[in-house]
Structure 1
């Protein structure tokens, strides 16, 4: 038995792409989190859904853009490794996406991070989130 909240099944996480959900941090702030496939165990990683360069969503509701096992920021094109969250190019070079602890049990993904509480599938349901002024298309 895992001590956490079920988010989704592993099969629900698109490849390539991401699965978006909203969690609440210890200060009652809503935060978007994405699940992405990773080639290392446990096979799925969870990252806060914001570019480290500026307040820009990586998944704007239709899945994060991906290229060669990397998450692509839609604003400036920085690329983050799906397994480590590290970025080695573009405006976000030298930074790492904040991770969220999860567990995979019997093909199900559970939120196990003591700093977050699961709220719902999908993104934050307001218009106050980051916006894109990108010219990059995928």
Structure 2
């Protein structure tokens, strides 16, 4: 992987939502990831529910959070922000895929050797990000 770059600042990560960005894995596939705050700490997860992994937690405007947990709006699954563990829903017991990040001062950098930072924001794929159901008509 290429040298890691800063992702964003602490100030840019919302207290009750997520900061969305893109990474490239070792196979060259671009994926979405989210930064989330839990107390004074910052955690990073791939942006995909573990029930159906094509469903994104953050659809482009920040993931819903309730009581310190990320919520999948499609299935009602809840994931702890600090561990990635699913505590409720159809994938209970599963865990989000973690990416390593480091905070130095106010700067958050991707330090996971398996991924390379691509840029901020969602993957531009033309999908309708307003859908809240997994059922297509």
TM over 0.5: yes
Name the TM-score, length of structure 2 as normaliser.
0.89
Q: 1:37 to 1:47 in 2, by over 3 A?
A: same
CA deviation map 1:71-117 (0-9, x unaligned): 00010110000000001211110100000000000111000001111
Once the two structures are overlaid, the 10-residue window that deviates more, 125-134 or 4-13, is 125-134
Task: Note the alpha carbon deviations across 1:112-134, whole angstroms, 9 max, x for none.
Answer: 00111111100111136998442
Change (3 A) 1:116 1:131: farther
Q: Which residue of 2 is the match for residue 57 of structure 1?
A: 56
| Secondary structure class of the residue paired with 1:75 | coil
The unaligned stretches of length 5 or more in structure 2 are none
The aligned length equals 131
CA contact (8 A) 2:49 2:56 kept: yes
Q: Does structure 1 conserve the Cα–Cα contact (< 8 Å) formed by 2:17 and 2:64? A: yes
Q: CA RMSD in A?
A: 2.0
Paired residue for 1:22?
A: 22
2:77–2:92 contact (8 Å) kept in structure 1? yes
The residue aligned with 1:4 is 4
Residue 117 of structure 1: SS of its match in structure 2?
A: strand
Please tell me whether the aligned partners of residues 74 and 132 of structure 1 are also in contact (alpha carbons under 8 angstroms): no
Q: Which moved more, 1:12-21 or 1:125-134?
A: 125-134
> Which residue matches 1:103?
102
Aligned counterparts of 1:101 and 1:29: Cα–Cα separation in 2? 18
Matched with 2:33 is 33
Structure 1: segments with no counterpart, 5+ residues? none
